[in-house]
Each structure stands twice: as C-alpha cells, then as structure tokens.
Amino acid sequence: MNVPAWARGSLATRIAAACLLVAAVAVAAAAIVSFRLVGLTARNVTQDMLAQQADVVAAQLADAPGTVGVRRVADVLRGQGIEIVLIGPRGGQLGGAGPAAAAVARTGATAAADGTPVSGEASVGGTTWLVEARPARTGAFALVQAVDAAPGVAQQLRRNIGFALLAGGGAALVVGVLAGRLLARPLRRTAAGARALRTGRRDLRIPVAGPSEMADVAGAVNELADALERSEGRQRRFLLSISHELRTPLTAVTGFAESLADRVVTGDEVPEVGRTVLREAHRLNRLVDDLLELARLEADASGSTSSRST
C-alpha cells in the first residue's frame, strides 16, 4: 500500500518531533517536581523566619511589657502579613476570632502559656497558616502567617524555573531540528546517488559516512552500482561476441547468395554452394534458438526473484 508523501514526513521532522516530545515530558516532570520542592522550601523558609520573628518579639516584650509594647509590635507585624494572638496565663486566647485565632486553637499553641514554645501549621478556610507560639511574662503569644501571604520568593522562584524550563524546551527543539538535518543529510546524499544510478550513471559512488546504519545503506548502494557496472560490462561483451558469431554465417550466406544471383557459381559447384548456405543457415538458427532460450531463462529468474521479494 502506497503511503502519501505528506503522511510519511521527513526524517528530520520526525527526529525534531521526537526531541521535542522527550523535552516536553522531561520539562513537565521537572516542573512538577520543582514546583513541589519550591513550595515545600518556601514553607520551611517562612516557618523559620516566623520562628525567628517570634523569638525577637518575645525578647522585645520581655524588655517592654504592657499593652503599648504589644500594640507597637502588632502594628509592625501586621505590615508584614503576620497576625499576633495573645494567650492568657491559663491558655485562653485573649484576642482574635478570625482564621488566625482558629489556627492557634487547632495547632494547640495555647500550650505555650505553660512555658513551652509551640510550632505548627493548620488549614483554615482552604489556606495554610503557620503558627509560632512563645511564652511571655503574662501568658504567651502566637505569631500566625498565611503561607500565601508570605513574601513572593516562591512565586519568583516558580517564574524563574518556568522560564528556565521553557528555555530548555526551546533549546531541545533547536537541537532536534539541527540533529535531524545532520542525520538526514547522508540519506539525502544516498537517495541522490540512487537516482543518478537510475539515470544510467555507473561511475558515481556515495561517501560511506555518518552513523553505522546510514553508512551501511551507502555501502549497499555502492555495491549495487558495482554489480550493475559488472553486469552491464558482461552484457556488452556478450553482445559483441554474439554479433561476431552472427556476422560470420551471415557473411557466408550473403556471399554465396550473391554468387548464385550473379551466376558466378554455375554447373557442378551449385550443389556445394547450396549445402554451404544451408549449413550456415542452420548455424544461424541454432544461435537464435540459444538467444531465445537465454532470454526465457532470464525471464524465469526475474519472475522468481520478484515473487520472493513480494
């Protein structure tokens, strides 16, 4: 079944498509892993920074206790996207009723009132909240920050990774196109040589270069050219020999026929001349029969070869 040229496509196009497909799969896998790792890293970094902030706030409240100091610290932290929740000496929350307070309750951060720092995270309303609680002179406090409200380091990292992955995919496409053209060049050269053989050239040989498979194809085409050259040489020698074999009896028949026509041969010589003409005619007949038999054998051999190939 013949396949249209548009459906076959070129080797260079297929190699470029294969490289692009491999690059796309690799980029997708790398993107999934990278974004996941970036998210985890950003959360860990945010947790560490929030813990450091909680330690600093604990030191500040120890130096400046009272409502004024707490309000001042709360105003500064709120500008950074951090909420502060006060915890009473007996573990009761003294302020806040929103998601931050719910996150404190879910992480058990009220235990910090007993003098033990608490670190944790909780999901409230579909948002992950990080909690760092520290004991204070009059109970404890908890710093609460939503992961999405953290500084845009993770977003910047994701953008950079996405740009790098896109650049890698583009580079893979360019490499695939160049590799396809380089790999297809020996095949194009071999195809051009085969077309030249079809037009009758027998002196053309294809350089055996490139990958081993393509070098094998070039070598096979060169061997075919050698075989065709030898076969045509044998055919030329055969035709020269046949022409010589046919010319000898034809010359004898023609000469004796002209002698008879011109009455050069008369009398008792006529029967001998007739026998000579008949003998040479039989010789010609045998040569023609041999040629016909040879042609029939070659036709049978060609037919059997075609049937085996199909």
Q: Which residue has the tokens 């790999």?
A: 183
Q: In which band, very low, low, confident or very high, does the pLDDT at 305 lie, cut at 50, 70 and 90?
A: low
8 Å CB contact between 204 and 193: yes
C-alpha 162/C-alpha 160 separation (Å) is 5
pLDDT higher at 172 or 217 = 217
Identify the three-state secondary structure at position 78: helix
Average pLDDT of the chain, as a whole number: 75
What integer is the mean pLDDT of 64-80? 68
- Classify each residue of 159-188 as buried b or exposed e, where b means 16 or more C-beta atoms within 10 Å of its C-beta: eebeeebeeebeebbeebbeebbebbebbe
pLDDT at 158: 64
Residue with tokens 């010609």: 284
CATH architecture of the domain with range 229-302: Orthogonal Bundle (1.10)
217-224: long-range contacts at Cβ-Cβ below 8 A with a sequence spacing of 24 or more? 217/186, 217/187, 217/190, 218/186, 218/189, 218/190, 218/193, 221/190, 221/193, 221/194, 221/197, 224/197
Cα distance between residue 266 and residue 1, in whole Å? 71
Q: What is the pLDDT of residue 306?
A: 53
259 token code pair: 């002698």
3-state SS class at 213: helix
Running DSSP on this structure, what letter comes out for residue 98? Answer: S
Domain 10-155 has CATH 3.30.2420: no
pLDDT higher than threshold 60 for residue 151? no
What angle is formed at CA 163 by the lines to CA 160 and CA 165, rounded to 5 degrees? Answer: 110
Indicate the domain borders of the chain.
10-155, 229-302
